[in-house]
Amino acid sequence: MKRALICGVTGQDGAYLAQFLLQKGYEVWGTSRDAHTASLSNLSALDVATQVELKSMAVNDFRSVLQVIAAAEPDEIYNLCGQTSVGLSFEQPVQTLESIGIANLYFLEAIRFLAKPVRYYNAGSSEMFGNCADQAANELSAFNPRSPYAVAKCTAFWQVANYREAYDLHACSGILFNHESPLRASRFVTQKVVQAACRIAAGSDEKLALGQMSIIRDWGWAPEYIEAMWRILQHDEPLDFVVATGQKNSLQDFVDKAFSSCDLDWREHVTFDEKFLRPTDLQVSVGDPTKIAKVLGWQATSTMKDVVENMVAFVRSSRMN
């Protein structure tokens, strides 16, 4: 039986990955800042909370990272922890760099120090590429980070590449473009849109305030992207991959689909608020998944419309129950 350690197991991706690996027959360990007070809502929603061995880990404390990895003795480590909000990274740049860049360095150093045959996955981000106005980003595209979050993710990516080359570690980065699900945190605009549309359809007279709606993103279905992470680590050669649908949709397209799925016209319920504008926002972010399809046989099957319909259906069924 393989053993996996998922750092950040209580988040959207961590919970889906725990479920996926358990179904594959893995023994799953997970970490949170404080295992005794951590919210297990995502794991509980997937009915796997009692099947995960949860441990406390302070990712900014090398001793803590080393102790957990030594105790777990994992075959695979998935680093999904750290600050996840681009907007918040402008307000907390130091914490963002520490929770992503420094934490990633601690993981790599711990693996090197323990000298065990561990396969390591680092969660990259489409934000690393900056604007993709000319063409979809692939593994050879230059990075152009436009936020503290993106800078931290670029730092972690190059750390992985350096340790892979210098110390022969089986370490990889998956550069995931936007991926959504019902487990997405409410602070993300996609969940904010879906929840508001469902409330308004149920009788709320509120208005949904949003920032720039012309931004273009590559939206996929989170449970599918989890399989891509796993496939990346199963490949004999440690490689980095872009994980995306390759399809472009604007935020307005997403909003339109969410409200139309609730039999509403978004124009009657959505307002603009400049407070939601970021200091530097990406106009276009789209990925080219050619390499992962060719090398690993992975391909996204859910479109943005599928994602929205699934999220809306989940919210409505939850309220009926």
| Catalytic residue, candidates 125, 141, 181, 261 | 125
Does 181 participate in catalysis according to the annotation?
Answer: no
For the chain, how big is the Rg over CA atoms in Å?
Answer: 19
CA 79, CA 7: separation in Å to the nearest integer? 5
Q: Strand 170-176 to strand 241-243: parallel, antiparallel, or no bridges (unpaired)? A: parallel
Q: Buried b / exposed e across 126-160, counting CB within 10 Å, b at 16+?
A: bbbbbebeeebbbeebebebbbbbbbbbbbbbebb
CA 1, CA 262: separation in Å to the nearest integer? 45
| Catalytic residue, candidates 120, 121, 149, 163 | 149
| Catalytic residue, candidates 76, 127, 180, 224 | 127
Does 64 participate in catalysis according to the annotation?
Answer: no
Task: Tell me the CB-side half-sphere exposure of residue 115, using CA atoms within 13 A.
Answer: 0
Does 121 participate in catalysis according to the annotation?
Answer: no
**Do 76 and 118 meet the contact criterion of CB atoms below 8 Å apart?**
yes
Tokens of residue 29, six digits: 């360990």
Q: Helices 222-234 and 12-23 meet at what angle, rounded to 10?
A: 60
Residues taking part in catalysis: 125, 127, 149
